[in-house]
Structure 1
Amino acid sequence: MQLASDAALPVFSWNLLNDFQDMWSYLSMVNAFRAGAIVSVVCAVVGWFMVLRRQTFAGHTLSVAAFPGASLATLAGFSLSLGYFGFCVAAALVVAALGRKGRESGAEESAVTGTVQAFALACGYLFISLYKGLLEGPTAMLFGDFLGITTGQVVILAVVGAAVFAVLAVIGRPLLFASVDPQVAAGRGVPVRLLSTLFLVLLGAATAEASQITGTLLVFALMVIPAATAQQLTARPALSLTLSVLLGLAACWAGLIAAYYQPYPLGFFVTAFAFAGYVLAHLPRLGREVLGRVRTPIATGGVA
């Protein structure tokens, strides 16, 4: 779905009030901004815990699981949202159930995660092969389609997001403890395995949300990059979590604005803005390292 042909694209006038009034005169854009706000905030919070727990591989696998879910929904003719959430949560439960024995070393969980990812991709390819419609549907599944978001989907995203935050409000503190030092947490009676399972389910739900905006292949733009950037900037949990939310929201809305005025995919713009922030966050550290290398020969009189 497109607002206009490439020859009749909207023109950014630098009159922000008029520009936003024009952009938001389309219900599809209003829904896109609403959905983008919900998804970016949920993904930033869940993604922050995911990066802290070093489970980005699991998050990537769950994003892959969204692909066969959406393709099966397209093939069978039922709700895309049901396909996204159903497959992502199911994959999360499989990883949690089969990967428990090796949780101390992470070896078995990684193997199970990779196995689930391979099977999900195979199922997605099967469903796409059976699907006889146009290729616009699969393309939107993989790379996103912000103009296709309906008001009903926004409501579903809001309800799921509220449920995710409600669970996190209950398990947030023990989950943080178990993420930082799982052995000590287990020794103090924290149900580490149960928390891990619940978190994977929340991760699956957040991944399913993001996949409907960015597509399954670019979901990490909202799940990983803002959280990784925030944790690079500060080690304080509360401030880092807040920065993750702000960075995710900024990348998503900036991407929506850019995609409205340019005939290029939304997923590219969201990823590009998020990646730019990630690079900028690393510049001070890189600068200190370069400066340290320059000062060392000077301090030693130029002797290696």
Structure 2
Amino acid sequence: MFADGGEDTGIWHQIFNFDNYGELLGLVQNSLLAGVLLGLVGGLVGVFVITRDLPFAVHGISELSFAGASAALLLGVNIVAGSIAGSLIAAGAIGVLGVRARDRNSVIGIIMPFGLGLGVLFLSLYKGRAANKFGILTGQIIAVSTPQTAWLLGTSVVVLIALALVWRPLTFASVDPEVAEARGVPVRALSLAFMLVLGLAVALCVQIVGALLVLALLVTPAAAAARVTASPLLLPVLSVVFALCAMEGGILLALGSTIPISPYVTTLAFLIYLGCRLATARRATRAPGPALGSPRGTVRTHT
């Protein structure tokens, strides 16, 4: 297509560039640590996002997290704190106002454009570096500072402790809420508590992969794990492994390029999901079918 291949080579050089890779690797130690934290948090929280059917809520919370981070950038205060504040406000509103699924979706549909509009307003008023604006939306890799890492570590510990405390009753309430409520499990309180935990997790992910593509860490790894196992023990383990592979692999691939980190993370997460889906389909085609004339001759299909 190109006579001398120069333009095509230039594009690929921007996407995959490993020149001076060893020197650059020393600059992203904080990012690699942040990637481990996000992979662990995203993988565990994502299990309940899938089980409770909350991917839409993740996107809604991320929009207000974006607004909080943008406001913090405009005011010159800590961006992580602004992102967390926005996420918790959105998560609390969804948890309180959206008890039923229909109400929850309506609340999310109202919060999303409001948060996005506020974020755009704050970024428009911000007169600083354009890279700071772009980083909130699409993520950043080099600019994870030591204070920011401390914020991420502290928030991750809070999320992990909260998950450890409510894991068993939350699992019960997520799988069978009616029976759980009949047995005295505080289903509504757990739902609100998890929404707040989800808000913290979203705020964490926004710092690295950006507000637009946070679903790649909080939904895709858990969805991929759910394709290959239904075990309550193996599901969170695989979800964390997939999230770590996408996060750390994305950081290492994006290190030498001029492209933001988010396309690498989202692509790796999608490829992992696609591989799990293909593996499930192949396993289903190889499974022995029922004998002809069997009263249980029902054909199972996987969608």
How many Å apart are 1:260 and its aligned residue? 1.2
Aligned to 1:92: 91
Q: 1:124, CA displacement in angstroms?
A: 1.1
The letter for the 1-side match of 2:109 is: G
Structure 1 position 40, deviation (Å)? 1.3
Is the aligned partner of 1:11 residue 2:19?
Answer: yes
Runs of at least 5 residues in structure 2 that lack an aligned partner in the other structure: 1-12, 288-303
Q: Could you tell me whether the CA contact under 8 Å between 1:52 and 1:179 is conserved in 2?
A: yes
Q: Which amino acid aligns with 2:61?
A: L
**Residue 72 (structure 1) shift:** 0.4
Q: How does 1:1-304 map to 2 (within 5 A)?
A: 10-11=18-19, 22-26=23-27, 29-100=28-99, 103=100, 106-287=101-282
User: Match of 1:214, as an amino acid?
Assistant: V
In the superposition, the TM-score normalised over structure 2's length comes to 0.86
User: Aligned-residue CA RMSD in angstroms?
Assistant: 2.0
- The Cα offsets for residues 140-189 of structure 1, whole Å up to 9 and x where unpaired, read as 10000111101111111111111111111111100000000001101111
Letter in 2 for 1:285: T
Q: What code does the residue aligned with 1:173 have?
A: R
| Distance apart, 1:198 and its partner CA | 0.5
Answer 1 or 2: which has greater helix percent.
1
Please list the CA deviations of residues 98-141 of structure 1 after superposition, one character each: whole Å capped at 9, or x if unmatched.
Answer: 112xx2xx111110111111211121122122223332222110
CA distance in 1, matches of 2:209, 2:105: 25
Q: Quick one: which amino acid aligns to residue 108 of structure 1?
A: D
Aligned counterparts of 2:139 and 2:26: Cα–Cα separation in 1:
22
Q: Does the CA-based 8 Å contact 1:62-1:91 persist in structure 2?
A: yes
Identical counterparts, % of pairs? 37
Matched residue count: 275
TM (normalized to structure 1)?
A: 0.86
CA-to-aligned-CA distance 1:66-106 (integer Å, 9 cap, x gap): 21111101111111011110000111011111112xx2xx1
Further displaced range: 178-187 or 154-163? 154-163
Q: Residues 288 and 236 (structure 1 numbering): CA distance in 2 closer, same or farther, change over 3 Å?
A: closer
**Local SS of the residue matching 1:218:** coil
8 Å CA contact 2:70, 2:123 repeated in 1: yes
What amino acid sits opposite 1:278 in the alignment? Y
